[in-house]
Amino acid sequence: MNTTKGKVLNRYHVIFLAQSIMIGTGILSLPQKLSPMGYTQSFMPLLFGVIASLTLFAMVWLCSKFPNDDLFRMNEILLGKWLGKFINLLVIIQFIVFSAGIISNYMHLIQSTALQEQTITMPVLCFLLLLIYIVSGGIKSIARFCIMTFFITIGLFYFTRWAIEKGDPSHFLPLFNFTPKEFYEALKQGYFSILGYELILFYFPYIIDQKKAFRHSLIGIWISIFLCFITTAISVMYYSEWQLKNVEFSVLNLFKAGEFTFIERIDIIGITLWVFLILSSITAYVWCAKRGMDTFLKKKKQSYQLYIIALIIFFIVKMPFSREFQEKLFMASNYVGYVLVSWPVFLILIYVIRKKQVQV
Amino acid sequence: MKNKHLCIISFLIFVLLTGCSKKELKVPLEDVGMVDSMAFDYIDENQMRLTVAIPQYSPDAEKDTQTFSITTDLVSSGIVEIEKQSDKKIVFNQLRVVLVNEDFARKGNVRKIVQHLYRNAEVGNKVLIAVVKDNAEAILKGDYPDKPSINFYLNNLLEPSINTAFNPNTNIHDFMYSITNPVVDTVLPYVEKRGEKLEIKGVAIFKGNQMHELIKPEEALVIQALSGQKNLAPLHLDLNAGHGEEKVMIDLIESSVKKESNKNMESPKLTIFLKIKGTLSEYKGERESHLFTVESISDLEKDVNKQLEQDISEFLARLNKTEVDPAGLSEEFRMYHHGKWTSKKTRELIRKLDVKVHVETSIISTGTLK
């Protein structure tokens, strides 16, 4: 396996990195998150796509000014050494908590649907071992894993066909039937589901064809957006508004609509395959956190940071705090994710102001 | 050298740590009682009678079905009580049929128990729900000597089949969907026990969370046709159109329906175009000897159209008067209505609704005999 020296990511890697990181547990509950808008939600993912494209443009523009540096270096260059380091520390904590949030969410799902009689300690441990293995291969191994994930899991869409058959397309009408308040609620809760593309700020230096990075990432983003759109559209057809609001993992219930005589619960297949999607998003986040930790160390090329990160994640997931505190923590990290998406815009402002001083 | 120590230490740790592990309580498959059917009977507002039927595979047992009954207020506490009587652990993975008796459907809260099952991840989506006359417990405990077991019998009876296509085959998702959707009222098949047989007598229509009335299979067929079912049950018609009394049976029906509303909430008008394609399987009446030519068949088609239009209009008018909407006609108005839609709006609309029905029948064949 190649180690990350110099530029390693070709265009397919870039496309699928952007695509797979975006799809994690978010899409499972996307219809429920968007439910304040009722049936009109089906077109929200397209709007998200537009927002994502705009913010991606800001990110790539910023990166193209620093073609060999990731966000951690940029923070230090633009904000000064100490403030930059402080921000970097926050980013690392954010990534670790965010990953822990995704794992915890997924384990909660497994426990509530598939393995009701087991504790989640063993699954979490196995998961983290796999995580360490993939991340230690570097960003290229993550990118390859993302490509594999896409082709393995895309087949799951077949299982939604019964829901389409049963669904009622008239639910799409009337268009634009929502109040500004409902729209704001849905935007606030739903946008997490497509977070992940912002990691290009960190792997941009490794991209071979940096001039076309924007286009390639955009393709990846729109593949994901399209998948989200299909998901919400099918959910809208299949569910009543009450179900949209109250069924927690609506995608799994879509799978349940399936009618095979020899399989009682197709949703279990869905859940187990979902582990690929979870892994592909978390590995990228953990890799970024590890890169961040590198910047704090004098001696580079150490690998123990990864184990530390894995340990921290394990303790966050298994921490003896109340469920409520955990939920709040993960919620907060989601909102910090929004800050991270808009962070490049802030950095661009600083860059424009301090252009002369920071010319590389 | 260092690695060797590490190996030994970690080996020791792993060996010693096994002592700390908890003994897992896993139930082997033989000790799992998979509930196939459940029945709920109404006692009063707070109490209900819960009966479960579990297939018994032991060759030593005399009966092939275990049944347990309990009086309880909550479903899950009832299950806990039943576990005290049962030799097995009760699980719901294979649940297929849920029966509620008519009293329960009319006075109790069916939605609450179905929602409880819907919440349970173990329960699949194949659970069929039906209303039964009188006593649901008696159906599960009854003797059906010529049937393999009550579980198979009930499930096969309620499953979709072309001759009972009036049956809405309401499964757990359909029930939750229609009872929470303000534009449509829930329909459930209605089963009656007659001696050693069970019979689908008709369809129970709900108004809100309670059962409202029982309709005949012919009328239920109209609901199925109007809500877009492609294949319908054989259609039996009594014609009286200037040729004396005639009886017509049309089989293998394919139907398609189109609804057009005037989008006006104040004076709602709905036009329904129903196309029916089928085989004339039996005819009894005056024209029997003339039904060889294309012309006479098309004459018959026209009479069938008229009769159907009249029947459907009358039936819908009756439903509209009682403000129930099992066919989801108000969806045609919700589609063009901005703002929140409530079931109150459905009731108001359906009361004022003026329906026009156009039926287009085409008889594609009359069998292979001339």
How does DSSP assign B119-159, residue by residue?
Answer: H-TTS-S--EEEEESS-HHHHHHS--TTSS-HHHHHHHHHS
The reply to whether B28 touches chain A by the CB within 8 Å rule is no
The full length of chain B comes to 370
Give SS3 for B278. Answer: strand
Alpha carbons A142 and A150: distance in angstroms, whole number: 12
What's the gap in Å between the CA of A2 and the closest CA on chain B? 26
Element containing residue B352 per DSSP (H, E): helix B343-352
What whole-number distance in Å separates Cα of residue A182 and Cα of residue A87?
33
Record: contact B173-A265, CB cut-off 8 A: no
Q: Searching chain A, which residue's CA lies closest to the CA of residue B92?
A: A264
Mean pLDDT of B62-66: 82
Task: Please name the amino acid found at residue B111.
Answer: R
The confidence score (pLDDT) of residue A5 equals 55
CB contact under 8 A, B125 and A256: yes
Chain A: which residues have CB within 8 Å of chain B? 38, 112-113, 116-118, 168, 170, 173-174, 177, 238-243, 253, 256-259, 264-265, 267
The model's confidence at residue B170, banded by pLDDT at 50, 70 and 90, is confident
Residue B58, judged by CB atoms within 10 A of its CB (0-12, 13-18, 19+), counts as: exposed
Ranges A29-38, A45-54, B210-219, most confident = A45-54
Task: Give which of B177, B183, B345 to mutate to test A binding, by max A Cβ within 10 Å.
Answer: B177
Task: Write the DSSP assignment of A226-280 as a string of letters.
Answer: HHHHHHHHHHHHHS-HHHHHH-TTHHHHHHHT---SS-S-HHHHHHHHHHHHHHH
Question: Which residues of chain B does A113 touch, with a Cβ-Cβ cutoff of 8 Å?
Answer: 121
Angstroms from B183 CA to nearest CA on chain A: 10
B 304-333 residues with CB < 8 A to A: 331-332
**What's the CA gap between A142 and A165, in Å, rounded?**
37
Q: Give the CA-trace dihedral at B325, B329, B332, B335, to 10 degrees.
A: 30
B176 touches chain A (CB under 8 A): yes
Collapsed DSSP state (helix, strand, coil) of residue B206 = strand
B8 touches chain A (CB under 8 A): no
Residues of A in contact with B94 (CB under 8 A): 264
Nearest CB neighbour to B93, from listed A113, A174, A264:
A264
Within 8 A of B332 by CB-CB distance, chain A residues are: 170
Mean pLDDT of chain A: 85
Give CATH for domain B216-370.
Answer: 3.30.300.210
Range in A4-13, A329-338, B187-196 with the lowest mean pLDDT: A4-13
- Does residue A265 have a pLDDT over 80? no
Contacts of B122 in chain A (CB under 8 A): 116
3-state secondary structure of A173: coil
Question: Which residue of A113, A238, A240 is in closest CB contact with B180?
Answer: A240
Q: Judge whether B124 is closer than 8 Å to chain A, CB to CB.
A: yes
**Cβ–Cβ contacts within 10 Å for residue B48, how many?**
25
pLDDT classification of B278: cutoffs 50, 70, 90: confident
Nearest to A177 by CA among A26, A37, A78: A37
CA distance B229 to chain A (A): 10
Largest CA distance in chain B: 107
CB contact under 8 A, B335 and A174: yes
Q: Which residues of B touch A243 (CB under 8 A)?
A: 176-177, 180
Please answer yes or no on whether A240 and B339 come within 8 Å at the CB atom.
no
- How far apart are alpha carbons A132 and A286 in whole angstroms? 9
Nearest neighbour of A243 by CB, restricted to B121, B180, B335: B180
Q: Of the candidates A171, A219, A145, which has an alpha carbon nearest to the alpha carbon of residue A39?
A: A171
- Distance between CA atoms of residues B111 and B98, nearest Å: 12
**DSSP-assigned letter for residue B323:** T
Query: Closest partner residue to B177 among A239, A256, A264, by Cβ?
Result: A239
Which residues lie below 8 Å from residue B162, measured CB to CB, with a gap of 6+?
A: B231, B233, B252
Span B341-350, mean pLDDT? 84
Domain ranges (residues) in chain B: 28-215, 216-370
| Cβ–Cβ gap B126/A259 under 8 Å | yes
Q: A176 exposed, middle or buried (CB, 10 Å; 0-12, 13-18, 19+)?
A: exposed
From chain B, the residues in CB contact with A260 under 8 A are none
CA-based nearest distance B44→chain A, Å: 28
Q: What does the angle CA A161 – CA B208 – CA A255 come to, to the nearest 5 degrees?
A: 15
What is the CB-side half-sphere exposure of residue A294 using CA atoms within 13 A? Answer: 16
Summarize the confidence of residues A192-202 as an average pLDDT: 87
* Mean pLDDT in residue range A178-183: 86
Name residue B343's amino acid. S
Q: Where are the beta strands (DSSP E) in B262-370?
A: 269-284, 354-365
Distance, in angstroms, between B299 CA and closest chain A CA?
36
d(CA A156, CA A72): 37
Q: What angle do CA B200, B205, B209 make, to 5 degrees?
A: 125
* Distance between B122 CA and the closest CA of chain A, angstroms: 7
Between CA B211 and CA A87 the distance in angstroms is 62
CB-based contacts of A247: which residues, under 8 Å, 6+ apart? A32, A239, A253
- B22 phi and psi, to 5 degrees? -85, 150
Q: What are A102-146's pLDDT values in tens digits?
A: 888 888 888 887 777 777 788 888 889 999 999 988 888 999 999
Under an 8 A CB cutoff, do B338 and A173 touch? no
Beta bridge partners of B247: B238, B284
pLDDT score recorded for residue B269: 86
Note the pLDDT of residue A1.
38
Of the listed ranges A293-302, B266-275, B303-312, B313-322, the one predicted with least confidence: A293-302
What is the per-residue pLDDT for A2? 43
**Between chains, do A253 and B177 touch, taking CB under 8 Å as contact?**
no
Q: Mind listing the domains of chain A with CATH numbers? A: 11-353 (1.20.1740.10)
Verify whether the Cβ–Cβ distance A173 to B336 is below 8 Å: yes
Under an 8 A CB cutoff, do A174 and B93 touch?
A: no
* CA–CA gap between residue A156 and residue A160 (Å, rounded): 8
For A298-323, how does the pLDDT look when each residue is reduced to its tens digit (9 = 90+)?
666 667 888 888 888 888 888 777 77
DSSP string, A31-69: HHHTGGGGGGGGGHHHHHHHHHHHHHHHHHHHHHHSTT-
Which pairs count as long-range contacts for B237-242, CB under 8 Å and 24+ apart, including other chains? B237/B304, B237/B307, B237/B308, B238/B307, B239/B285, B239/B303, B239/B304, B239/B307, B240/B307, B241/B303, B241/B306, B241/B307
Mean pLDDT computed over A87-109: 88
How does DSSP assign B78-119, residue by residue? Answer: HHHHHHHH-SSEEE-TT--EEEEEHHHHHHS-HHHHHHHHHH
- Select from B288, B306, B305 the least CA-distant residue to B244: B288
Q: What is the mean pLDDT of residues B151-162?
A: 83
Model pLDDT for residues B202-261, shown as the tens digit of each residue:
889 888 888 888 888 888 888 888 887 777 777 877 877 667 777 888 876 788 888 888
Closest-CA residue in chain B for A172?
B335
Q: Which of A9-13, A267-271, B282-286 has the lowest mean pLDDT?
A: B282-286
Alpha helices in chain A (DSSP H): 11-22, 30-33, 44-65, 71-79, 81-113, 121-135, 138-153, 161-166, 180-190, 200-203, 213-238, 241-246, 250-256, 266-296, 304-317, 323-353, 355-358
Note the ipTM here.
0.82
Query: Does residue A40 surpass a pLDDT of 60?
Result: yes
The SS3 assignment for A108 reads: helix
To the nearest whole angstrom, how far is the Cα of B255 from the nearest Cα of chain A? Answer: 16
**Closest Cα in chain A to B329:** A170
* Predicted pLDDT of residue A327: 84
Percent of chain A with pLDDT over 70: 96
Amino acid at B137: E
| pLDDT at res. B1 | 65
- Alpha-carbon distance B34 to A114, whole Å? 17
State the count of interchain CB pairs (< 8 A) between A and B.
Answer: 51
Q: What is the pLDDT of residue B369?
A: 57
- Which pLDDT band, with edges at 50, 70 and 90, does A3 fall under? very low
H/E run at residue B253: strand B246-261
Q: Is B228 left (phi over 0), alpha (psi -120 to 50) or beta?
A: left
Lowest-confidence segment of B114-118, B130-134, B268-272, B293-297 by average pLDDT: B293-297
**Residue at token pair 């009886």:** B247
Rounded to the nearest integer, the mean pLDDT of chain B is: 83
Residues 6+ positions from B28 with CB-CB distance below 8 Å: none
Cβ proximity of B124 and A264 under 8 Å:
yes
**Cβ contact, residue pair B178, A174, below 8 Å:** no
Task: Say if the Cβ atoms of A113 and B336 lie within 8 Å.
Answer: no
User: With bands split at pLDDT 50, 70 and 90, how would you rate the model's confidence at A193?
Assistant: confident
B264–A contact, CB cutoff 8 A? no
Q: Reply yes or no on whether the pLDDT at A287 is more than 80.
A: yes
What pLDDT is recorded for position A49?
92
Please name the helix (run of DSSP H) or strand (run of DSSP E) that holds residue B294, with its range, or none.
helix B294-321
* Residue A323 contacts residue A91 (beta carbons within 8 Å): no
What is the mean pLDDT of the segment spanning A33-59? 89
Tokens of B184: 């449509």
Work out the pLDDT band at B19, boundaries 50, 70, 90.
Answer: confident
Among the listed ranges A162-171, A217-226, A259-268, B164-173, which one has the minimum average pLDDT value? A259-268
State residue A220's pLDDT score: 92
- Mutation target for A interface from B112, B181, B257, B345: give the one with most A CBs within 10 A: B181
Helix, strand, coil share of chain B (percent; to 5):
35, 30, 35
Residue B368 scores a pLDDT above 70: no
Confidence of residue A219 (pLDDT cuts 50, 70, 90): very high
Partner A, chain B 331-350, Cβ-Cβ below 8 Å = 331-332, 335-340
Average of pLDDT values for A318-337?
83
Residues B86-98, mean pLDDT to the nearest whole number: 85
- Between CA A197 and CA B147 the distance in angstroms is 60
